[in-house]
Every structure is written in C-alpha cells, then in structure tokens.
Chains A and B, each alone.
Chain A
C-alpha cells in the first residue's frame, strides 16, 4: 500500500520572527527554514508503518517555489521513496493546497494521506480536513496514536479539548498528526547520500487542472501590542500584596 505525505517548508520553530516594517509580512531573508515539525511527525509515522511491513511505498509531496525541493530532499533522506514537487510561485493557502493534494492523490492513489495538523507559520489547521472533504475520504485529525487494522481500516486516537477520542476509519483515509504521535528521526549521513539518487518529479497546478487563485487577500501583517513591562518581586509576601492591592486580581 502507498502512503502519501504532504510536507511544508516553514520558518524554523526556534527562530524569533520579525515583522517587516512595511507590514507586508514576516522577514524571510537569511532566516533558517525547516520542514514543519508536524509534517516531520507525519512523515515519521508513514516510515514506521512501512518499516512494520504494512506499506510498500512512502511518497512525499510539497508545493511552492524551487526551495520546496530542499524540503523534499530532507524527506527523502529521512526515508521516503520518492517525491513530488508541485511547482508554482503563486502564494498558496489551505484551500488551494487541498485542491492540489486532491489532484495528486487522485493520480497517486495512496491508501493513507498523512499531513501535519497545522503549519507553524499560518497556524491554520485546515488543509487535511479540506482535502478529506474534497476526496470524500474519512478523516482523523490531531492523531496521537495510529494503528492499522487488518480489515483495510485504521484506528486513530485523537487529542481533543476534553481529552482523548478514538475513531476507526475505512481506508483510504486522511490523518493529520499531533505533537505526541511520535518523535521524528534525524536523517543519517548515509541516507542523505542515498537520497540524492531518489526521484523528485515536478508538476504544475495547470497540469493538474487546479485553480489556485485565493478567495481572500492579506491586507497587512503587524506586531501584536506589546505587554507593559513587569517587575520582579523578592518574596511571596510582596507577590501577594501586589496581586491584591495593585493588580486587584485576588
């Protein structure tokens, strides 16, 4: 069975982002980029399923400009078998990504489509749900455990507001990954070398016959209001006094 994993290139999670003074966005020049942490977790899960003998092939896909290829190479170095680059310079938002993924999935015919639950740049948490709707496949989002059954089904434990929930889905299905699903592997040097020989194919939205024009526009990006600076207190007594008589919260 084939697993398709969608991955996104984002500003590294440890970077302190800077909003551009012209309000057009966030500074991206000379900033460290990485595979979105949730996407890494998704790819790791796919690789574990393959290593357990339950999948024969893991394909990674990413969409955007030429830098996507870097992210796909990382995916191949982690252990994916091949990669697909959907190439476009038009900014992509969740609905367009979902439409593109739907088209790619229709071609690739995976049994499982794995994605991270959200990208840490836009924090949207939408793409997996959208592509599941477009494909008319069942979905299990925010997965903290994934277990394949033997009736072409998968049982997924999800992290929800109240705690944990368990669903069983008939394949093919879409699963989005949450933080605690697994701890992704680092690409080893031998695997990085091997990855250079693996195939990355390229395709455009036009070839996939997908309209990627967005139905919204970003007007401006600004910094949030800064909090007023605080003070250090030197004792619990002082803390209680300030909370009571200054902040009036107790």
Chain B
C-alpha cells in the first residue's frame, strides 16, 4: 500500500494528531509507504514539513503545497489539491484525521474522484477492512472497501497512539506545483475570520485528564471551579452540549457524538447526566469518574467511580484533597 497522509499543522508545528494518522497508515500493512502532504502559506508550512520529514521512519516523503488559497483550510482548493496529489502519486490510500478540517475536505476530495470515504475509523483490520463506530458508538460496523481506489479513510486519533520519533534520515521534502489547479468553485468561498479560544491548558483532544461540566454548573462563572480542578490535575476542561447551549462555555469544549471525541486516562464528569450523545464522546476514557447529585443518572452506569453528591461541595473538597500536579507521576 502507498498512503497519502493529509497532515495538519499550526504555527509551523505539526499537530500531534498527524502522528496518529501516520500510525494508522503503518497499520495498513507491512511495506506501506507513507507520504505526508502539508498545505499552507509561507515559512510555517515549510517548518512543519521538516518536522514531518523526521517524524517517523515510516514517512518516506513529504509533499509541500505552499499556496495562499489553502492557508485557511477552505475545502474547495484543498479538495483540488488532494486530487492533484493523487493524480501525481497514484496512492492506494488517502488518509486524514477526522478533525473538523479532515471532515470538511476529505469527502469533497473523494467525491471528485468518485470514491466513498470510510470515516472515523477506530481499527484497521487489513488494508481494505476497517471498523468504525455508528449510532453514537453504540454499535461498531466492520466495513470492507471493494472499489478500485484510492481508498479514502479518516481516523479517530484517540484510537491510534501517535508514532514516536526515532532516529532516522529525514525523508525528502518536495514541493507540489499548484499553478495548474483550476476549478470554478475556488474563488467562490472566502475565509472571513475566526474566533479561536486559546488556552494554556492541554488540548481537549489529547489531554491525559479531562474535567467536564454539565448544565448543573448553572453558570459560566462556576466553570472556574472546574478549571481549578483541571489545573490541579494538569488537564483540559470539557463540557456537555447542555452547558454549551446554555452559554456557559464556548462550543469548542463540547464533548460528545457531534463534538469532540476524547479518550483520556481520567475523565471526570461533573454535573453531567450521561445522555447517549455525551457518552459517545468519552466512553473510551480509561477511568471515568462521575459526580452528580442524582444517583440514578445514567452517567453512573459508565463510571468506574461514582460519587452521588452535590458538586458544589464535592468539587472544592476534591481540589483541596488532590495531590499537587508536581507530585504526580506522569
């Protein structure tokens, strides 16, 4: 197999999820070659490319598209870029992370090549057989690709631990000539702006610890308590849909079927009832703790440790009694 991995980067640094994508690509079979495609504009994409070139011995090539049109992840130019890369490289597989970027561009690119996409893959059985969750993760579907290729897949990064860098000769980095790309769709979309939440805390998608709050927190102000708890544990803060809908926290904190999927070592659900849709986003966490006043909440059915208590008493007490982060072994 030869796989084109669509990489992601920010501020010149490769995203950890791209390393999960490389791990998934290596799972396709022995002797699979992995080419990483990075698109962007200016020095930052080249910086990310040299990082990718040394990311793992499985990476045999890095392709760079330094093109203003792909700077902000617009799907129309990105889909054409993938089409161009595929035409040149004739890969058997095209693989991306099922991030909001991957979900946005990969199906469009696949449709241009009249291919299906097998999305949100959590397990590779062989190079054409994959397992993916359906019905909010309440069922697992094994799917076999029977087309003539390329096989498009997106992967859930929590299911594929990132490859670790090893000693290697950096892979060659080459640039893709995007000047021949023409499409009536390019130029009909314009990136106007973004509102990105910046935090000192670890990213929700790959934090080792996540503390999540539900509507029972009652206000944005009360989420500060969860932030303090997360900080004590060196973790990230998440939320249920209800908390986001109520305006307590921004949308990028939503954990669930249609929000972020997380699988940390420790997930603490505070004031969250445990609706099917929320569980879909966190039930693969290694250890789940639930704190909720109502002992009948469905969350207690997935929790390893459940505390039926008033969160406004329990959380401050927990913050006080937890060992300091500095005393914790990694």
Question: What residues make up the interface of A, taking CB atoms closer than 8 Å to B?
Answer: 11, 13-14, 16-17, 19, 26, 38, 93-95, 98, 117-118, 120-127, 129-134, 136-142, 144, 155, 159-170, 173, 178-180, 214-224, 227-228, 230-237, 239-240, 242-244, 247, 249-250
Contacts and interface: CB of A to CB of B under 8 A. Distances in A.
B107 A167 contact: no
A58 to B, nearest CB: 23
Given A127-B107, A167-B74, 7 more contacts: A95-B111, A126-B110, A130-B110, A180-B251, A216-B146, A232-B300, A244-B323
Contacts of A232: 295, 300, 305-308
A167 B104 CA distance: 13
B13 interface: no
B112 A133 contact: yes
Interface in B167-217: 183-185, 188-197, 205, 209
A17 B138 contact: yes
Nearest to B119: A124
Contact of B117 (A126, A164, A167, A179): A126
Give 4 closest A-B pairs by Cβ, nearest first: A215-B147, A129-B107, A130-B111, A126-B107
B305 A125 contact: no
11 contacts: A124-B119, A133-B111, A139-B104, A142-B100, A160-B100, A160-B194, A163-B252, A215-B147, A217-B143, A232-B305, A236-B321
Given A129-B75, A161-B205, A95 B112 contact: no
Interface residues of B, number: 93
Nearest to B303: A230
A120 to B, nearest CB: 7
B321 to A, nearest CB: 5
Contacts of B192: 155, 166-168
Contacts of B148: 215
Interface string B138-177: 1111111111100000000000000000000000000000
A129 B119 CA distance: 13
Given A95-B115, A165-B191, A247-B287, A217 B135 contact: no
Could you tell me the dominant secondary structure of chain B's interface residues? mixed
Contact of A249 (B106, B260, B286): B286
A213 to B, nearest CB: 10
Contact of B143 (A139, A219, A222): A219
Contacts of A218: 141-143
B111 A239 contact: no
A13 B318 CA distance: 35
Contact of B258 (A160, A178, A230, A236): A178
A222 to B, nearest CB: 5
B111 A247 contact: no
A109 to B, nearest CB: 16
Nearest to B145: A216
B189 A224 contact: no
Interface in B252-295: 252, 257-258, 260, 265-266, 276-277, 283, 286-289, 295
Given A230-B306, A236-B317, A239-B318, A134 B111 contact: yes
A146 to B, nearest CB: 13
A98 B245 CA distance: 30
Contact of A139 (B108, B115, B244): B108
Contact of B146 (A217, A234, A244): A217
B148 to A, nearest CB: 8
Contacts of B135: 11, 17, 26, 120-121, 123
A220 to B, nearest CB: 5
A227 B197 contact: no
B99 interface: yes
Nearest to B315: A236
